[in-house]
Chains A and B, each alone.
Chain A
Amino acid sequence: MGDAIVGIVANPLSGRDIRRLVTQASVFPTAEKANMIQRMLTALAAVDVGRVLLGTDLGGISAAVLRAVRRRQAMGRAGGPDRWPEVEFLDGQPIRQTAQDTVEAVRRMVTAGARVIVCLGGDGTARVAAAAVGEVPLLALSTGTNNVFPAVREATTAGLAAGLVATGAVPAGQVTERAKLLEVRAGDRAETALVDVAVCTERHVASRAVWDPATLTQLFCAFAEPDAIGLSAVLGQLSPVTRRDPHGVTARLAAGGPHQVLAPIGPGLVVPVGVGEIERMRPGPAYQVDAPAGVLAVDGEREVTFEPGDQPTVRLRADGPWCVNVPAVMEASARLGLLRRPLAASPSPQHDPRKPTA
């Protein structure tokens, strides 16, 4: 196998919050996250990725993959299926069971020379990973709740795409796109969002999720797609903005506002939302948050509390993470014939001509 490195980080806590209770949001058990990584390892091996760096966790994902890697090695010695790439577990650091674990893992992957970093999680996980990847392309796969930013996509295909970019078989410059970013500042704290920032009248971060539109007063979106799920869907139906548009969109939210729209603001939650003035959001300037105190929700999660004097602002930036466009990678692969193989060169393990048949 080649020497290309791919990093994979999976959030053990994604897809577990209160929205499973209030809106029947989807469930992603640990076992499925570990299975997705294994399917990805198979795909990465198929396109010659030699080494995979895997973040570690106390939620059971990396432990399940470690057991699978050992089983696979034992089976390989017995003439079983092809080997996976060498998997290096990024352990040795304290696991804090917070978003900081994702940040640390991604930083170590960048330092170790990962050519693509795959993150498994929801919008919250992608947001945290995006802030740490630097110039390394990010491929965000959904195992969370809202999932506007990460794609709901089969891990096998995503693994092939990640591998083809990591090995250079498909030049990254042709199949990656730079995402926009919302920069939030409140007092001395800074945070980023990839999709939306909502101003919430709640006083506490508490269970993080946002599901009551009556608590929202203002919304900033880097993009707002008509088919989105989550808060950006509100403006997606009123004033759509694509991921490629240079601008974003912002609006006041108020029950009696001049625009009324029925929006899927969360899984299992289609509610009427009142919208006031809608304004195009230009990249660069800092937009003021018009509330004395409350919580800022980034990508659908309450994250930053603010008090009088903190004067929060939101700024649209063009320099978000480079994102792998999976369909574009696979189209390039088809065009270049990268996955074509001569008949004799790809014996299936079950019919290996080198082995005597029973």
Chain B
Amino acid sequence: MTETMERRALTRDQLLSAYRMMRAIREFEERVHAEFATGEIPGFVHLYAGEEASAVGVCIHLDERDTIASTHRGHGHCIAKGVDIGQMMAEIYGRRTGACHGKGGSMHIADLSKGMLGANGIVGGGPPLICGTALAAKIKGTGGVSVAFFGDGGSNQGTTLESMNLACVWNLPAIFIAENNGYAESTASAWSVASDNIADRAAGFGMPGVIVDGFDFFAVQEAASEAIARARGGGGPTLIEMKFTRYFGHFEGDQQTYRGDEVARARAELDCLKRFAGRVVQTRELGQADLDAVDAQIAAVIDKAVDDAKAAPLPTEADLLTDVYVRY
């Protein structure tokens, strides 16, 4: 029998924390969506709204020993791993107070102090990174695990497949989270993923592969909890495929001519926040007043983050040559 047999229900504090993070991601993304339309935000942004249960359901089981690698759609992973929301917003606005001093922008938010190895503009760029940190954790015996989030497009990259192979060969405490939102930019995964299910590929590497309803926080956290416990215990890597829909386009400004009405249906019937709230209120694990209080608190946090970001200074010429090299 394994340690995974002894599962315990999430505590009230864990449930509140999960809701707070999912709500924070949603508010953050909805606000960036609105602010981007004003033209004030430089560069590109790719929004995570709709996918919150994935980042939060996984990261709620991680601690300071653990690292994650993200994607170009990285805001949700950053928030779930504890990156400061104010610093994130400032980074997106390109301000000196940003998480990377305003030099990275949306696609390069990182905070190594939080174990967040970075959003990543390179599709399939994250999985090799977590093989490194997972190997380090294994050699040092920290008990840490490493998680790579990647999309259906990333699942087809050689880097991702090589990383899965390496993680299995070295039996690394690595977890691969395939966030299959149906489209790699505008290319349907139903067309471009030859195995149809990304999880099916796990068997070829000899690791478990499971499919989870990515809109269902409870399903995600259960699978993630088992995979993380397995990795910590020396059981090796796992591939988890989340199936869901992103609420916005590939990037802000995407006309989305390639998809139908699935977003409206998802928002109405499948939404992770609505389902979470409905469940915990019904079971009386949390009250509606608890959730309302979180909503109000998060709205204020996001307002302040935007106001502070707009008021913060931009980097100057003097900042050009700082943070270019790292001394080990």
A contact residues vs B (CB 8 Å cutoff): 12-13, 16-18, 20-22, 24, 27, 29-31, 58-60, 63, 97, 202-208, 211-212, 214-215, 271, 293, 305, 307
Contact = CB atoms under 8 A, between A and B. Distances in A.
A240 B219 CA distance: 33
B200 A293 contact: no
Given A13-B211, A29-B195, A207 B283 contact: no
B216 interface: yes
Contact of A17 (B195, B210, B243): B210
Interface of B: 1-2, 4-7, 9, 190, 195-197, 199-200, 202-203, 208-212, 216, 218-219, 221-223, 226-227, 230, 238, 240, 243, 279, 282-283, 285
B211 A212 contact: no
A293 B285 CA distance: 12
Contacts of B196: 12, 30, 59-60, 63
11 contacts: A17-B210, A18-B210, A18-B226, A21-B230, A29-B200, A60-B190, A63-B190, A203-B285, A206-B218, A208-B219, A211-B5
Contacts of A203: 9, 279, 283, 285
A24 B210 contact: no
A340 B197 CA distance: 42
The list of the 4 closest CB pairs from A to B, nearest first, reads: A60-B196, A206-B218, A16-B211, A204-B218
Contacts, number: 91
Contacts of A293: 283
Given A22-B226, A29-B200, A60-B197, 20 more contacts: A13-B211, A16-B199, A16-B209, A17-B210, A18-B210, A18-B226, A21-B230, A21-B238, A30-B196, A59-B197, A203-B9, A203-B279, A204-B283, A207-B212, A207-B218, A211-B5, A212-B6, A214-B5, A214-B6, A271-B5
B60 to A, nearest CB: 13
A205 B218 contact: yes
A30 B226 contact: no
A208 B222 CA distance: 10
A17 B211 contact: yes
Nearest to B188: A58
A235 B113 CA distance: 53
Contacts of A31: 195, 200
Given A206-B219, A212-B5, A293-B283, A21 B227 contact: yes
A195 to B, nearest CB: 23
Contacts of A307: 282-283
A30 B199 CA distance: 10
Contacts of B221: 206
A293 B279 CA distance: 13
Nearest to B235: A21
